[in-house]
Structure 1
């Protein structure tokens, strides 16, 4: 009971750190299986994907129940965006298991991919814990901050590509003769669009598909701006040094004198 309380009430505890790593790995694997099960060539592994979904859904369900039970402000958590994302991480699959006829509803099955957004929160917790430990050791944290920021950016990029690819597959897969036959195909379109290459091998036809493609373009511009900011800071430090580090050295010399 005490360990469970530390996991959900003290994000900086070792127990919470290990638990969040395990949950993060589960989220990544479950999202990967959701993406792969849409590939026509992998239809033979349908039962494997189904069993894996049961396991991960059960895990996320119990985690959600425990988080509600041990979180001091439970109603605030339930109504918060993070709480809603946690709920969506297992609710679509749970509805399919409880009501089998819903399994044919593609929109509900694809909605499961939203669980990848949970990784952003876990990386934020990871950043806070890592920085605090570095401070306790008396080590520099500037380089670490930039390293973690790059990891968070990469995760945000993957999340954007996955969600955009899922939307494109969901919208365009109903068009006869479509090239968006799977989520990976949609992810390829998202990568080409975000990187502004635009091969033209995949083109949305439906109005909703074009809207989704436009949102992907806007997301790409935002990600590009973030990348310039993150990489720019690292390049500035590499070429000219860090003003903060210079101030720290100056203050240290004054204290010694």
Structure 2
């Protein structure tokens, strides 16, 4: 039974979807970034008064073309909003309203503000207007940074330790500002005569910025400043450690889920239980290759094997023949099992997603999951016999050459 054909809206969503792995999606993101760069460059150059009138007219035309592009994009994204996974059970109108009120929707709306202002009778002229458009458009770069979502999850997951570090920061800030205000206000009433002024010095010192515009002069004030600088290094190092740990944990979780999704597409893993599958997922690594890219070269060390999640590769045999492997197949197991250099070169024929299993991890898994190792060995034996048959057929009268 064939799957139903995708609607035009679903096809357009596959292109506009953030981080879409399809070639069309990647081309769209590249084009979007190029057009955004052109728009930002035109906005920046428009603020230069030395440009001639003709050049400024050209720059304004470029800005309006980019604005029109963003307007078409906004309408298209608004139309495909019901295709979003979390909008599956929401009526189309409600889904579009929810998307319009989301962060991507609001950023898209801000990007078309020049068109809205034009409709309202405003004109694009002057440095101030150009600066506003530049600020609005730069926000769209955030839509190309999936790490922003990761950052939000890290802050949410690590909110307790982050709050503790911020509390320590506030305690040090207020304590140092109060001490400096007490001991320095008589000698420097303009710089330390009030707590807000003293807090400015405290913030600059605690963050180790050190502008040097305000410095304590008394011995006690300098002692407070020295302790504050040392404390600032410790607080910043603590905050860095918290965020780095959170990012590492979030990236491991994302990689685990990404690999799990890919593993379920490989038939050789389909019969394994959840517990066994989770052990394998932790050992695999995902690799993405565009078309016509060399994955393995003949003679390379046989230190890993590959499973094809989606896509296709071509095995270029030493005899000059080729074999194509598609979804669910695997390769590289023969040299891994025999601990010999690669006997063939592997080239992708289409954009391909591979799972990599290194030799050390393979033998560790083989000791716990004999069935998986046996399946890989059987396939390696079958391919070896098949290659022998091809060589025999090539040298025997009436034989066929692969």
- Length-normalised TM-score, structure 1: 0.48
Structure exhibiting the larger radius of gyration computed from Cα positions: 2
Question: Comparing both structures, which one devotes a greater share of its residues to strand?
Answer: 2
Question: Comparing both structures, which one devotes a greater share of its residues to helix?
Answer: 1
- Between 1 and 2, higher relative CO (CA 8 Å, sep ≥ 6) is seen in 1
- Length-normalised TM-score, structure 2: 0.32
